[in-house]
A and B are shown apart, each in its own frame.
Chain A
């Protein structure tokens, strides 16, 4: 079982609220990722990080922001949630180096519903 944790698992909030999805890993991985996935659909990369103080936007444009102040922590924030943000958000991590992307370890996901 992967040592990567996401909270909350489920969140229902009203439009306009600010939310932060937490992601922590205890494996000392340098690389961390946020993917967005609608039910039964493919995963879309929205943010990733190579290490502390490094963040990059992914392939899918997102209004969310991320920070990487500590190696083990990669929170995702939505300043003003909208119904279009309703989705599942998956956090993952992997070892860095070697010029390739190795195995990703995923958390259980945070399912966000914005009313």
Chain B
């Protein structure tokens, strides 16, 4: 089964609201990363958080990591219509590759 599971599968919000997506994983990790994918395109890296870090910020993005619960969350503040995309978490457990979760489809309505 997949290492990463994301919740919710789909999220629909209004512009200006915050969006929170969660990711759970099964085994210990070196780092956890979040990616964004616009429909029909490749993935774009958003943020990487190492196993010894608890929180990281980048612009309107805030990522938390709880290794005791094997979970992470991605918060997008003050969302915009342009944030509409699929968001994936990915875990590095082996140092050689990433395993991706199932993704959350975010829709931000203008």
Contacts and interface: CB of A to CB of B under 8 A. Distances in A.
A42 B95 contact: no
Contacts of B41: 108-109
A45 B43 CA distance: 14
B92 A42 contact: no
Interface residues on A, range: 20 to 34
Q: Per DSSP, are chain B's interface residues mostly helix, strand or loop, or mixed?
A: strand
Given A105-B45, A109-B41, A48 B96 contact: yes
Interface residues of B, number: 27
Contact of B31 (A100, A105, A106): A100
A101 B90 CA distance: 10
A37 to B, nearest CB: 9
A104 B98 contact: yes
Contacts of B35: 104
A78 interface: no
B92 A101 contact: yes
B72 interface: no
Contact of B97 (A33, A41, A42, A108): A33
Nearest to A90: B42
